[in-house]
Structure 1
Amino acid sequence: MIQIGIGLAEPNEHLIHAVEGAAAEGTRVIVFAPRSMEPSPGITYRLSDSPESDLIDALMQGQIDGAVRGTLPANSTLRYLRDASGVDHLERIALLETVDGRKFLLTPVGIDEGSTIRSRINLVQSAKRLAEQIGMNRRVAILSGGRLGDLGRNPDVDRSLAEAELIARLTGGDHCEILIEDAVGEYGIIIAPDGISGNLIFRTLILLGSGTGHGAPVVNIDVPFVDTSRATESFGNAIRLAKNLIRRK
């Protein structure tokens, strides 16, 4: 049976319901939580003074097949994951779904990710591999800060347009300008101009636009780890995504 660990920083009924649902689907989920947590009946807990490091250590040592961050703090959890994986940065790609059912991969989504042309080119290649792995459309849309007709109005937009054109040529993607509303659905992979705008796209869709988040796999490490936002209610989606990645790995 596949075993997946998920982090729980404080009581969260959405997360507990997701764990119960996963069990009904044949997946064993272990909840990594602080010692102060009052365990819920019928759920396997692993309590410790540092659930972040305990979750990552269990993943790295093969005690669990995959992990989901759940509601653990992002900074400490991802920093420990980065150090334990031996990489100098983490690359995340979010699987999102609009309210009308259009799914797409979005990257960069971290405010410290995708700030250079090279990093976005690497993310394109990683996103193509992830799309193939989970059976999604591999067409790539490169977004920029405006339309081509806006050239000359703002130097930051001019630079964004030029970078998007270059990335599109080097990766085989299409520069879709600022028209994300046209790109989603036709393209399975959306490359934001930088991590700040990607994070804003994510938050706007999920927290204001009634969209759904399925989690954000970390794609430059060797173990299946799905990042989640503490604001999400869709932990079941992240568990299912982790299970899918484990099976296909």
Structure 2
Amino acid sequence: MHIGIGIDKNAGRVMESLTSASKSNRITIFSKTGIPGTPYDIVVSDNAEEELVKALYEGRIDAAVRGTLPANAVMKLLKKYGNVKSLKRIALLETQSGTRFLLAPVGVDEGWTREEKVDFVGYAREIASALGMNEKTAILSGGRLGDIGRHPVVDKTIEDAEAVAEGTGSDHMEILIEDAVKDHGIIIAPDGISGNLVFRTLALLGGGRAHGAPVANLSRIFVDTSRASYDYSNAVFLASALADYKQKTF
């Protein structure tokens, strides 16, 4: 697969992490500055964000990874080229012990309604199927069923989780994420803030790993990455696997 990846800051770190992924994929870098000695094709532009997204939508690359390009600029361009009002990202995470699962929502402005959560379940199951992962889905809430009445916000998360679980054939696992990951390949957080906190706690404090977050509601394969990432090869492998699945399926 031909994968494009953006580089703004930390070029050396990104380049070093691409070695393993480049053995089975063609890599093109989209950068704001030249990178002396790079073994990869490179597109240098002051507007590297648009060059990356445009290359993706013009079919010059099979999939794209944000890398270290500024998130806000890239996300605005994806909305423009993808003709969508919002972006739905689903993170592929791995615990310290090696358990992998998909988590959504992970953007703080995502997943605040029942309808959005239902959409995330559908998108996550498609990604799980493409990656050969367990599609069993857990819906989390802000407390146990016995906590109803302790706080209106907690009550609403429980009511929402019960409704979403029933409507999607999922399991309401209450607040017990530690149990949910044992036999569920998909975890739906109560909202984008809690999902983002789960992501950051696992990947940045808990010794786990983040493999990238595909944007699920686009017609092209785009994998978002955290600015705190140290290894971008997994995001390239993820983008490549999804692009390969899409080509074989469609």
* TM-score normalised per structure 2: 0.96
Specify the alignment match of 1:118 in structure 2: 115
Letter in 1 for 2:220: V
Contact 1:85–1:221, Cα closer than 8 Å, also in 2 = yes
Counterpart AA for 2:27: V
User: Residue by residue, what CA displacement relative to the aligned partner does 1:70-121 show, whole Å, maximum 9, x if unpaired?
Assistant: 0111111011011111111111110000000000000000011101110110
Pairs aligned (count):
246
Q: Does 1:185 align with 2:175?
A: no
| Paired residues of 1:39 and 1:45 also in contact (CA < 8 A) | no
Q: Conserved in 2, the CA contact under 8 Å of 1:213 and 1:234?
A: no
In the TM superposition, residue 10 of structure 1 has moved relative to its aligned partner by 1.8
Secondary structure of the residue aligned to 1:185 is helix
Contact 1:218 1:227 in 2 (8 A): yes
Instruction: Work out which of the residue numbers 54, 58, 62 in structure 2 matches 1:61.
Output: 58
Q: Secondary structure of the equivalent of 2:61?
A: coil
Instruction: Determine what percentage of the aligned residue pairs are the same residue.
Output: 50
Task: Tell me if structure 1 keeps the 8 A contact 2:19–2:233.
Answer: no
Question: Structure 1 CA distance, aligned partners of 2:138 and 2:26?
Answer: 37
Aligned counterparts of 2:232 and 2:29: Cα–Cα separation in 1: 12
Aligned to 2:140, which of 143, 150, 158?
A: 143
How far apart are the structure 1 equivalents of 2:38 and 2:71? Answer: 27
Please name the residue that 2:221 is paired with. 224
Residue number in structure 1 paired with 2:10: 11
In 1, the alpha carbon distance for the partners of 2:237 and 2:3 equals: 10
Aligned residue type for 2:32:
P
Give the conservation status (yes or no) of the 8 Å contact 2:128–2:135: yes
The CA distance in 2 between the partners of 1:201 and 1:32, in whole Å, is 30
Amino acid at match of 2:29: V
User: 2:198 is matched with which residue: 194, 197, 201?
Assistant: 201
Does structure 2 conserve the Cα–Cα contact (< 8 Å) formed by 1:94 and 1:107?
yes
The 2-side partners of 1:204 and 1:13 are apart by 26
SS at match of 1:246: helix
Gaps of 5+ in 1: none
* Counterpart residue number, 2:29: 31
Q: Tell me which of 33, 46, 49 is aligned to 1:49.
A: 46
Does the aligned pair in 2 maintain the 1:7–1:33 contact within 8 Å?
yes
Q: Distance in 2 between matches of 1:89 and 1:27?
A: 30
Question: What is the deviation of 1:15?
Answer: 1.2
Question: One-letter code of the match for 2:28?
Answer: I
Match of 2:95? 98
**Partner amino acid for 1:17?**
E
Q: By how many angstroms is 1:39 displaced?
A: 3.0
Give the RMSD, CA atoms, in angstroms: 1.0
CA deviation map 1:44-64 (0-9, x unaligned): 211001110010000000111
Q: Which runs of 4+ in 1 moved over 6 A?
A: none
CA separation in 2, counterparts of 1:131 and 1:212? 17
Give CA deviations for 1:126-177 in whole Å, capped at 9, x if unaligned.
1111111110000000000001111111111011111100100000001000
More displaced, 5-14 or 68-77?
Answer: 5-14
Determine if the alignment matches structure 1 residue 169 to structure 2 residue 171: no
Aligned equivalent of 1:85: 82
Q: Is the 8 A contact 2:17 2:230 kept in 1?
A: no
Q: Secondary structure at the match of 2:164?
A: helix
